[in-house]
Amino acid sequence: MAKNRKGFEDFILTFMGKVTKGGGNRVIYERLFKALNDKQFDEFMVKLEEIGVLAIWGSNDNPDEMIDWENLKKLAKEYNVSLEQRLVIYDEETGIKSMTPYTAIVGTDVLRKQRQMWVKKFSAAKDDTAIDDLTGQVMGDSRSTGISQPEITVLRNLGLTIMANELYNVKGGDQQALRAYKNDILTTGKTNTNSSLERGDIAKVLKTAHYLLRARGIDNNMNSRR
């Protein structure tokens, strides 16, 4: 690999010099390549083949080093790289896969709530004695531990569907499932989310929505799992 080193470095440095107006990424990679001997460079290339990506740095306070989206689009076109692609949507209930008619950016991002970053902001449920009559969900001081739909989506994308069902269904208003869940813990010391759901009914908020719609003359089966 070392014999092709100069050609690789020239290609990367030329590209990185165009990423930002100030060319800061080119400087970073110039310093990196300068610090590597041929053996270390080969190891770097092997690792790059495994990971498949090179990092790009942007600044939050230097306008010349901020990432400009329009500039990135021009670069992508110049290097024949597609930033957007059609998405394959998978329906967990039916198992059907479909492809979107539009294209979208696909990438990895990290989102974190403020309460997850500061210990003093973290909230934990105190009990589940106060239950909302309309939704069947915990209210009062313990309501702060509620989970949002985006968080549930993250869990499912990570393959943690059982955990998502525990938080979103068993502890999200299905009172019969929660009763079975807690009874198992009290009697056996362990419990099972799927087993609790089998003995459960449905989230009370769906029953409430069912009757509200019926009152408006709109028939529906929201109060039933089937």
Residues of the chain above pLDDT 90, percent: 24
Residue ranges of the domains in the chain?
2-67, 114-215
pTM reported for the whole predicted model: 0.46
H helices within 79-203, ranges in order?
114-117, 149-157, 161-165, 175-188, 193-198
What DSSP letter does each residue of 82-94 carry, written as one string?
-SEEEEEEE-TTT
Residues of the chain above pLDDT 70, percent: 85
Q: How many residues does the chain have?
A: 226
pLDDT category at 18 given cuts 50, 70, 90 is very high
CA–CA separation, 67 vs 73, rounded Å? 11
Here the tokens at position 190 are 């362990």
- pLDDT mean over 77-92: 87
What is the model's pLDDT at position 34?
94
